[in-house]
Structure 1
Amino acid sequence: MTRLTLLKAATIVSSTLILSTTVFASENLSPRQVSIIEISADTASGNLEALKKDLVKGLESGLTVNEIKEILTQLYAYTGFPRSLNGINTFMDVMNVRQKEGIKDEIGKKASPLPKNLNKDQFGAQMRARIGGRKTIPAPSGYQVFAPTIDTYLKEHLFCDIFIRDNLDHQSRELATVGALAAMKGTEGQLRFHLNGALNMGMTPAQMKSFANVISQHMGAESGSRTSQVLEQVLSQRGDK
């Protein structure tokens, strides 16, 4: 066997291993869900070159233009305006290139107007309780009592103004949230809440384990290990395997 033949064989084996690992990581997730995770993670980390590829992959996996806009907009509440705006500007660049190439992407639906006379505090409190797996709204405690203004912002803006928008389902919103939180250090408490929230919104334990694998492959072993540890705690507390 010649050296060139050996090199070709090694390349084929390597490519097969990479492909099989990628399939394993996302076997319980749809391509659309994997794209939500990757878009959110790279937006949170500020890796805009990787984000460009994520955005193209997302469009090709079935995400609409408005769904991606919604993901990038929502992420400001978790990553800050700079990361969110950088992501939106990157998406604008991607769309400009695709339009010049004659590629027509599905725009998708716009969010419905907010209901009249909406009690934002009540809706937000109920939404947060639902994500947390509670049937009733618990009495304020902790930071809610210590800094009630931030609690008002969370209820009325994040869990009402954002989560009430119906052009992205709640399960996808939670998947975007954990994708971003898993890419950042020091957010284990919030990641724990929202991993639990993703499960409460209908994700399965198997899907969340695949989520941790996607984070490990896409963001590196450190992020993957941190995510897996928090997920194990969540699943153990829930009695899930």
Structure 2
Amino acid sequence: MTNTTHARHCKPGTLAAAFALSLGLAATSSHAAQGTLEPQTMTTEQSASETLSAKQQAIPLIAAAMATSDMPKLNASLNQGLDAGLTISEAKEILVQLYAYAGFPRSLNALGELMRVAEARKQRGIQDAPGREPSRVIPTGDELLAAGKANQTRIAGAPVQGPLFDFAPVINQYLQAHLFGDIFERDNLDWQSRELATVGALAATPGVEPQLRSHMAASMRVGLTVSQLRQLIQALADNGDADAARRAREALDTQLAEAAGRP
């Protein structure tokens, strides 16, 4: 899905283009730069903080360890997150969502590790908050596709479309119906947390730099600040994930340089 040639020559200033490039195609909308994500349309409250909470700092570390199948680091980061107030439901949701970026085998193995962590903590007398399941009914059929398309458009700032989707329309149907529909309609994990997880997983994965750049932009669109993203990068570095931190830093710097060059 990566297309580095397109990534190098994309026009700056459109998040929709970045999203399209994450799939190896060119966006056709000319209005992406004008797209905004209204706070009332978000599935989470937006924080005005310039720093990540302790719970938020743990999320990309969990994701990075999951994406690399580093079980000792995953164990430690899950404990870190739960100690900081991450609920069991939120931890599960992070690991479930990331199957879309890291694959089912890693997701299943990570969920197994979470089960072991939760049981070990219970044996030590630690009572972790269970959290909650999604509070609204997930639509089905055409309604699900419409909801997913709306979520995708809000995050990208404009409809994502291009030659690849013309060539294989079903892939966008899967993206809209499942990733942005089934998953993003689940409101037991806010969109900022979902992007923190996605950035952490992509940063830990070599060869997906276009996708990482697009999700840096998406992170800012859902309300994360540059300061918070730089804190994410530092957290990866402090956790011994030097390559992941470097890739994340380069992705953020590239995105900011493109944004600065917008007319």
TM range (shorter): 0.7 to 0.9
Q: SS of the counterpart of 2:132?
A: coil
Counterpart amino acid of residue 219 in structure 2: A
CA contact (8 A) 2:204 2:243 kept: no
Q: 1:161 aligns with which of 182, 204, 209?
A: 182
Query: Matched residues in 1 for 2:142 and 2:192: separation?
Result: 23
Change in CA separation of 1:170 and 1:44 when aligned onto 2, cut-off 3 Å: same
Report the TM-score, using the length of structure 2 for normalisation.
0.76
Q: RMSD of the alignment, in Å?
A: 1.7
How far apart are 1:122 and its partner, in Å? Answer: 1.7
The aligned counterpart of 1:133 is 157
Instruction: State percent identity of aligned pairs.
Output: 42
How many pairs were matched up? 211
Map Cα deviations across residues 145-182 of structure 1 (whole Å, 9 max, x no partner).
Answer: 22222111111000010000010011111111111100
Which structure has more RCO (C-alpha within 8 Å, separation ≥ 6)?
A: 2
Q: 1:88 aligns with which of 111, 116, 135?
A: 111
Counterpart amino acid of residue 158 in structure 1: L
Change in CA separation of 1:93 and 1:238 when aligned onto 2, cut-off 3 Å: same
* Aligned structure 1 segments of 4 or more residues deviating by more than 3 angstroms: 115-118
Q: Following superposition of structure 1 onto structure 2, how do residues 84-123 of structure 1 map, counting pairs within 5 Å? A: 84-112=107-135, 113-115=137-139, 119-123=143-147
Report the TM-score, using the length of structure 1 for normalisation.
0.83
1:233 equivalenced with 2:254 (yes/no): yes
Higher helix share: 1
The aligned counterpart of 1:185 is 206
Moved more, 75-84 or 118-127: 118-127
Moved more, 215-224 or 165-174: 215-224
Moved more, 226-235 or 74-83: 226-235
CA contact (8 A) 2:148 2:176 kept: yes
Query: Matched residues in 1 for 2:91 and 2:142: separation?
Result: 26
CA contact (8 A) 1:75 1:180 kept: yes
The aligned counterpart of 1:70 is 93
